[in-house]
Amino acid sequence: MGNISHLLVPTYPTVHLPNSLLRVYPERSDFTSDKIHGLPVVVTSHRGSSAFNLSPVQGNAKIEQPVMDYSYDDEKVTPFSYHVYLDEDDISVEFGVSHQSAIYGFNFKGAAARSLLFNSRNGHLQWDGNSLSGSQEIGNNTKVYIYAEPNVKPMAIQGLKRGQLFPANTVKGEDACLLLSFNKNQSDIKVRYGISFISEEQAKANLRREIKNFDLKSVIGRGKEIWNDVLGKIKVEGGTKNEKHIFYTSLYRAFERPVNISEDGKYFSAFDGKIHNDNGQPFFTDDWIWDSYRAHHPLNVLIDPEKESYVLNSFVRMAEQMSAYWLPTFPEINGDSRRMNSNHGVASILDAYEKGIRGFDLEKAYKAAKGALTEKTLAPWSAKPKGKLEEFFTKNGYIPALRPEERETIPEVHSFEKRQPVAVTLGTSYDLWCLSKLAKILGYEDDYALFSKQAFSYRNLFNEKTKFFHPKDSSGKFIEPFDYVFSGGLGAREYYGENNAWIYRWDVQHNINDLIQLMGGSRQFVGYLDEMFNASLGTAKFAFYSQLPDHTGNVGQYSMANEPSLHIPYLYNFAGQPWKTQKRIRTLINQWFRNDLMGVPGDEDGGGLSSFVVFSQLGFYPVTPGNPTYTIGTPFFEKATIKLKSGKEFVIVAKGTSDTNKYIQSAKINGVELTRPWLDHKQIMNGGKLEFVMGPKANKNWGIRSNHQ
């Protein structure tokens, strides 16, 4: 689902156990490629290539390249296994995965020589007579280590360099390769291996702990059990087969990241380059917070609260380990890449705490969040300390935009990503709202007063005439003339960020009621929402997408493909017309999330879009992370059961729901009539039943009580 992208990055059919260190997917130039590029051993990032690669060889094929390309057929990928037939080479491949180890099985036909070519793209490999071990640099002084054992000993070991084979047990450098050659009568060869970020010895320990023999079938069977347990946290009944495929594929993708990199109670942290004890709390990283805070983290809070507490505790540890005590923004395996804009880790901290998660030090988390917002630059894609932009924001309440003729002079600003002044002002306003809530909880009244006031900074860029958030220069004047579709250059980054003004018009998650009033009241607010879904692209598609490649999945100017849009269809609920949310959510899911190769409209971002699908198909969504409520959409299944950590269950019943019967006629929660289009988190966690009566025509009087914030 989504393995072919509409424009930018596709989804990858990744084989891994939930949130586990070891992940692989078949490497190819794209999903329609006629060749696969060797066989992957471990993928160290969501969009990276394999750190190590394994190429099986049969016959007297001339081995010149460090990784071989294969024609393939009969490929089958599951979350826990991989099968492929290399048809021109007549080799069948099976793969099973555990958390930090895996096993390959190769079946060679005929009576020709058999070999396995191991490749480290930038590191070393060595053979000790029984096993292969090695490492690869993956950036920022971070290494991934391997320890591998074949089930039969090779007859010869050779190195490969610049297309030439030579006798060697050790190789190092770029594309370090070792060729293990086996007896030609050996038709079945298995290789089990462990992976570590700590050492080769730890990789060996990980393997021995998880895969004790060469029983490939048992590894695959255990992987299937683990995935069934995890996906079984939510059971859906009714709906179409395709709707179930979409739901469970999306739920599976929500468990790809972040990644637990604790190994026997220890972990290597790229945030300070040291090995630490995890003290019983696993360390998680590889979390793209700008995408994940919106729906992915709230989904973890709901169905996996213990894991979420570990993740947030990891955020605090990262802040402690980095040179500056700041929450991360894009923590990856090899450190915080500081990508995107704003500092939304504070939203996940607040959301979890408000929903009862206590497995992290709130005082330390607050200190790290405050540091990220008041000591670090607000310029996107930068880890530099604050400077003139932040001084201006503190004094004037917005990030100033450059006029078209002005050149950038502030060193913190990324040359490609620009200031993104409207996006940063709006995102920081929300972050400061979250910070003010934390200050209130901790009793910091002065901080609470200051940050509560600054949380209204979005007002400083609101254009009363146009009802859009509009960039201002340093003298307080709106940039004019201005086009809300096209102004801002590539990705609209000179003013917004990846999306244009039509999307950022709604980026006030923390104060929707105030946004409604700024726009002139509920009727006008709904009218502007309708206008967005009907607005023209304004040019030919190729021209639009050449400037705004992230702004795909269009319905008018709305973009289903990018995370800042996710909450927008639910905003009708806040203006007294929830039937329009119900209609729109059904339409958007059916149009843009489908059980086919192009069934995801944009960059999925490791759970970012998928978590929106999970929530939306269940029938509710967390519009404001940090506020312990969910707003109601439309349920896709006749029955959905959420199995809670406490052992209780929350059951959603919607008899007869369908593409036709998508409108809520009435609702009850635990037998009591529900007249408002939202739920409290406590109502779900206490267990019980939410019942909907569905129908083919909108009940425009249901749920019209709004303004719950």
Tell me the two tokens of residue 589. 């899911």
Do residues 554 and 588 lie in contact, with contact meaning Cβ atoms separated by under 8 Å?
Answer: no
CA neighbor of 79 nearest in space, from 261, 227, 262 = 227
Domain range 15-230, CATH class: mainly beta
Do residues 33 and 43 lie in contact, with contact meaning Cβ atoms separated by under 8 Å?
Answer: no
Tell me the angle at which helices 345-354 and 296-303 cross, rounded to the nearest 10 degrees.
30
Question: For residue 52, how far is the Cα from the chain centroid?
Answer: 24
Question: Where in the chain are the domains?
Answer: 15-230, 235-695
pLDDT at residue 709, as a whole number: 42
Question: What is the C-alpha separation between 644 and 642, in angstroms, rounded?
Answer: 6
Question: What is the C-alpha separation between 152 and 214, in angstroms, rounded?
Answer: 11
Kindly report the backbone phi and psi dihedral angles of residue 158, in degrees, each rounded to the nearest multiple of 5, phi listed first.
Answer: -135, 155
Tell me the two tokens of residue 286. 């590889």
User: E strands within 480-586?
Assistant: 554-555, 558-559
- The H or E element containing residue 672 is strand 672-673
DSSP class of residue 8 equals: S
pLDDT at residue 706, as a whole number: 57
Question: For residue 650, how far is the Cα from the chain centroid?
Answer: 26
Number of H helices, E strands in the chain: 18, 36
- Distance between start and end Cα atoms, the chain: 36
CA neighbor of 303 nearest in space, from 235, 212, 393, 387 = 235
Longest dimension (CA), the chain: 81
Question: How confident is the model over 296-314, as pLDDT tens digits?
Answer: 999 999 999 999 999 999 9
> What parts of the chain have a pLDDT lower than 70?
46, 706-709
DSSP class of residue 472 equals: B
DSSP class of residue 196 equals: E
Query: In Å, how far are 108, 122, 304, 311, 661 from 230, measured between CA atoms?
Result: 35, 35, 9, 17, 30
Question: What is the C-alpha separation between 255 and 90, in angstroms, rounded?
Answer: 35
Torsion angle in degrees (nearest 10) through CA of 319, 321, 325, 326: -30
Question: What is the C-alpha separation between 295 and 498, in angstroms, rounded?
Answer: 19
Domain 235-695 CATH (choose: 2.40.50.100, 3.40.1410.10, 1.10.3720.10, 1.20.1610.10):
1.20.1610.10
Can the peptide bond before residue 258 be classed as cis, meaning omega within 30 degrees of 0? yes
Radius of gyration (C-alpha) of the chain in whole angstroms: 26
Question: What is the C-alpha separation between 226 and 5, in angstroms, rounded?
Answer: 29
Question: How confident is the model over 389-445, as pLDDT tens digits?
Answer: 999 999 999 999 999 999 999 999 999 999 999 999 999 999 999 999 999 999 999
pLDDT at residue 708, as a whole number: 47
Q: Is 395 left (phi over 0), alpha (psi -120 to 50) or beta?
A: alpha
Question: What is the C-alpha separation between 610 and 298, in angstroms, rounded?
Answer: 12
Tell me the two tokens of residue 244. 């179930």
pLDDT at residue 47, as a whole number: 74
Tell me the two tokens of residue 334. 């090899």
Neighbours of 358 (CB within 10 A): 10
> Which residues, 6 or more positions from 494, have their beta carbon under 8 angstroms from its beta carbon?
401, 402, 418, 419, 420, 487, 488
Question: What is the C-alpha separation between 466 and 198, in angstroms, rounded?
Answer: 56
Beta bridge partners of 118: 54, 178
Question: What is the C-alpha separation between 553 and 600, in angstroms, rounded?
Answer: 9
